[in-house]
Chains A and B, each alone.
Chain A
Amino acid sequence: MAWTTPTTRSTNDLITASIWNTDLVNNLLALKAPPTASYTFTGPYSTTSTSEVDVDTTNLSLTITTTGGDVLVCWLGTVHMSTSGNCTLNVTMDGANLLSIGNVGQFTQTNLMTVGFTALKTPVAAGAHTFKLRWKVSAGQQANMGSGMFWVREVS
Chain B
Amino acid sequence: MDVWYDCQQVETLALDAALRAVLGEAMTGISVGAQDAEGRCLRVHYVDLPNPEQEAAAQAVVAAHDPVFLSVDKTTIQADGVDEATITVRAASPVTLDVGGVAVAVELADGVGEVGITSADPQTIFIRVQDADNRCAQVLEVRAV
Question: Residues of A at under 8 Å CB distance from B?
Answer: 43-51, 53-60, 82-83, 136-137, 142, 145
Contacts and interface: CB of A to CB of B under 8 A. Distances in A.
Interface string B4-46: 0000000011001000000000001111111110000001010
Contacts of B47: 51
Residues of B in contact with A, size category? 10 to 19
Most interface-central of A44, A47, A50, A142 (chain B CB within 10 A): A47
A56 to B, nearest CB: 4
B29 A51 contact: yes
Contacts, number: 61
Given A53-B43, A58-B34, A82 B29 contact: no
A1 to B, nearest CB: 32
B31 A50 contact: no
B2 interface: yes
B32 A46 contact: yes
Contacts of B43: 53
Given A48-B13, A82-B12, A59 B34 contact: yes
